């Protein structure tokens, strides 16, 4: 039986791609083989704070502002600030205009979809028959997944540029048309991946029928 490992990379580390590549990706601990490993990544440092809330001082991010302001669009300004920060990260880590454009398009589409979804939900919940509180856990899950999709996608592009056969594994269920158990979601995502010659970079959040895990 051939074994593989699953390794987690935290947000602070993710902010330094060269260090991650040289000290983690290119230095497997238990074998000489670069592959037969799965990497689960966090969002870049500070991004989750902007998406949800600051983990140290409790300052509200997009989620906190949206949750407490049914009739206030202040969260939209925070979403614009998040987009600017994510685009700045892209511009800092990629060295060609073409790749920056692709990276901006990837995360920009998710941010646009998020804004549309939140605006529709906010408008719906301004009517008395609908409660925002009933949807907040789903909103939080959706927002939390954005940061990891951003960092995972970017990391795959950078590794491919460096000659490593990395593949993006999006477990967030973004725009999914089917609810699955966690096991089903993971099995489907990895079904076509050959761990002997491909290096999966996966989101830490995985969508399941029970919510985001």
pLDDT of residue 209: 77
Q: Nearest CA to 154 among 120, 105, 103, 108?
A: 103
**Ranges of the chain whose pLDDT falls below 70:** 1, 29-31, 70-71, 211-213
Query: Where residue 96 sits, what CATH number does that domain have?
Result: 3.40.1160.10
pLDDT of residue 110: 96
pTM here is 0.91
Range list of H helices, the chain: 11-14, 17-20, 47-51, 62-67, 74-93, 97-124, 136-161, 182-190
pLDDT of residue 31: 62
pLDDT of residue 72: 76
- 193: containing domain: 5-212
pLDDT of residue 71: 66
pLDDT of residue 91: 98
pLDDT of residue 212: 64
CB 44 within 8 A of CB 151: yes
157 Cβ contact list (under 8 Å, min separation 6): 94, 99, 102, 103
CB 63 within 8 A of CB 143: yes
CB 158 within 8 A of CB 93: yes
189 Cβ contact list (under 8 Å, min separation 6): 169, 170, 171, 202
pLDDT of residue 213: 58
Total structural domains within the chain: 1
């Amino acid at each position: 039986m051939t074994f593989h490992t699953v390794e987690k990379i935290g947000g602070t580390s993710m902010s330094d791609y060269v260090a991650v590549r040289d000290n983690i990706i290119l230095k497997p601990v238990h074998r000489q083989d670069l592959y037969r490993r799965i990497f689960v990544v966090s969002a870049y440092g500070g991004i989750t704070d902007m998406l949800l809330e600051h983990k140290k001082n409790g300052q509200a991010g997009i989620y906190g502002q949206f949750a407490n302001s049914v009739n206030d669009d202040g969260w939209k300004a925070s979403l614009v600030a998040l987009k600017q920060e994510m685009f700045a990260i892209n511009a800092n880590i990629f060295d060609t205009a073409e790749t920056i454009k692709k990276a901006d398009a990837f995360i920009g589409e998710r941010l646009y979809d998020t804004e549309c979804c939140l605006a529709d939900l906010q408008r719906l919940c301004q009517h008395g028959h609908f409660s925002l509180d009933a949807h907040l856990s789903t909103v939080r899950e959706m927002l939390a997944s954005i940061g990891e999709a951003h960092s995972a996608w970017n990391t795959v592009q950078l590794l491919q540029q460096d000659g490593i056969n990395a593949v993006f594994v999006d477990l967030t269920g973004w725009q999914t048309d089917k609810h699955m158990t966690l096991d089903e979601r993971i099995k489907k995502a990895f079904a076509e991946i050959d761990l002997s010659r491909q290096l999966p970079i996966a989101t830490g959040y995985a969508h399941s029928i029970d919510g985001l895990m």
